[in-house]
Homo-oligomer: A and B are copies of this chain.
């Protein structure tokens, strides 16, 4: 048993790279907050991924937060490479201009976090990109009072997913 699997289920996010004219999208489970102030986040990307080339070149990325209703497109984004296919045509996402980076955001997602790369570290078989969050947008209903209310994508393993319950347990 691969020990990394013991940390699953993990949330699945979308990493947008490239430009508004030529955006690329991959899925990523390996996304993690790193700092509240300044707000910083990390994402692990394999060098084999087309997204690696784009993030390494432009030094910017957007983390888009899909809810469960986008699962089919999320799966496509994660299993087809942008090297061979135009993801803008493949996916039913609406890309729009971000506020502070040239990488676009995704309208159908409940949040978009605009990031500028401040560090890039090779760790094992992935590259760890450290990004400073320079702007964001989000759905006010989903994140009312900072308590997420949607149904989000949880990756179990391989092609198996689930989601969170809606009940809240307050301690």
List residues of A whose CB falls within 8 A of some B CB.
1-11, 13, 29-42, 44, 63, 65, 71-72, 75, 111, 113, 119, 121, 123-126, 128, 130, 133, 136, 138, 143, 146-148, 152, 154, 156-171
Report the Cα distance A40→B33, complex, angstroms. Answer: 17
Instruction: Say yes or no: A159-B138 contact (C-beta < 8 A), given A11-B9, A34-B123, A34-B126.
Output: no
Report the Cα distance A65→B4, complex, angstroms. Answer: 12
Is the beta-carbon distance between B160 and A156 smaller than 8 angstroms? no
Contacts A1-B143, A160-B170, A161-B171 known; 7 new A-B pairs at CB < 8 A? A1-B138, A3-B113, A30-B33, A40-B123, A119-B123, A159-B171, A161-B168
Report the Cα distance A119→B38, complex, angstroms. Answer: 21
Contacts of A138 in B (CB 8 A): 1, 6
Contacts of A71 in B (CB 8 A): 169, 171
Copies held by the complex: 2
Contacts of A161 in B (CB 8 A): 168-171
Report the Cα distance A33→B35, complex, angstroms. Answer: 17
Task: Select A65's contact among B7, B42, B158, B164, beta carbons within 8 Å.
Answer: B7
Is the beta-carbon distance between B168 and A124 smaller than 8 angstroms? no
Is the beta-carbon distance between B35 and A32 smaller than 8 angstroms? no
